[in-house]
Amino acid sequence: MMIFVKFGGSVITDKTQPECADTATIRRLAGELRQALDAAPELRVIVGHGSGSFGHVYAQRYGIHRGIAPDGDWMGFALTASAALRLNRIVVDELIAVGVPALALQPSATLVAHHGRLVRWETGTLERALERHLIPVVHGDVAFDDMQGSAIISTEQLLAHLATLPPLRPTRIILVGEAGVYTADPRSNPQAVRIARIDHTNISEVLASAGASHGVDVTGGMRSKVELMWRLVQATPTLQVHLIGPDPGLLRRALLGDAGGEGTVIVWNEAEQG
């Protein structure tokens, strides 16, 4: 059983402060992944994580997501990649500390984008890692873009790309970030209601109300995440995407299929089970 897991940048960092990792939360999520693997050894997992206050701050400052001319100043590109790697090292070290055989794989080494969208990624090493029972760990990253020079490829884009490859096709994708998708921003609107299930009957209404992320985020916020995951579910109707918060124990339950009724589930058909 293949499952993709994303640790959201807003969960593992304070996105309002530059390069501020929440190591306690990272350590707890790593431990919950270890517990799930112990309980279900047949699980195959790929972990991705956002850049949070590490990569996003530099990307915003230097406009990496908007593009850089070939003869422009590429220092910001290098700084963004370096910051993303610093957070990746923290995540991987915490996974290894609890006995998860995590292997860091830097996406930008082989990414190619076109107008900000991922079009090519060499994933042979990632596939070999899985064959050897390692847990690949990827992250949102910079990319060379054949039209605009540079781009930022979100973790969701990376996971969506991997999900189209037959050897890696997951049954579920778990996004650890917001507690779910809401009818409005629950931080500012106390009347906001969590949407338990998104399917073809309500996706248009959901996208119309979905907002952006809090803090610095150059990858588009909640709406872009839901939209991308919906396209993926359309292409793979058997796939289930589960958006959950970072509450203690919730990731372990979600990995083991025991988190029904929590967070938001995205499926193609309203009759699919959560």
Q: Is residue 273 part of a domain?
A: no
What residue type is assigned to position 174 of the chain?
A: I
Residue pair 26/66 in contact (Cβ under 8 Å)? The answer is: no
**Rounded CA gap, 29 and 34, in Å?**
9
Strands of 141-145's sheet in order across: 117-120, 112-114, 141-145, 149-153
DSSP, res 17: S
Classify residue 274: in a domain, yes or no. Answer: no
Stretch 56-69: mean pLDDT: 92
pLDDT tops 50 at residue 219: no
Domain-located, residue 229: yes
What was the pLDDT predicted at 211? 59
Looking at the structure of the chain, the number of domains it has is 1
pLDDT of residue 264: 96
- CA end-to-end span of the chain, whole Å? 16
* Percent of the chain residues topping a pLDDT of 90: 81
CATH number of the domain bearing residue 127: 3.40.1160.10
One-letter identity of residue 10: S
Q: Is residue 272 included in any domain, yes or no?
A: no
What are the beta bridge partners of residue 119? none
Residue 44 in any domain: the answer is yes
Where residue 43 falls among pLDDT bands split at 50, 70, 90?
Answer: very high
Q: Is the pLDDT of residue 271 over 60?
A: no
Would the pLDDT of 143 be above 60? yes
Burial of 154 (0-12, 13-18, 19+ CB in 10 A): buried
One-letter amino acid identity for 103?
L
Separation CA 249–CA 259 (nearest Å):
10
pLDDT in tens, 177-216: 989 999 888 888 888 899 999 999 999 999 887 754 444 4
Please tell me the predicted confidence (pLDDT) of residue 215.
45
Residue-range definition of the domain harbouring residue 254? 2-266
Note whether residue 117 is domain-resident: yes
| Global pTM value | 0.92
Given pLDDT bands bounded at 50, 70 and 90, which one contains residue 274?
A: very low
pLDDT digits (tens, 9 = 90+) for 208-218: 877 544 444 44
Q: What pLDDT does 57 receive? A: 86
Residue at 83 is within a domain: yes
Residue 221 within any structural domain of the chain: yes
- Of 242, 249, 236, the closest CA to residue 35 belongs to 249
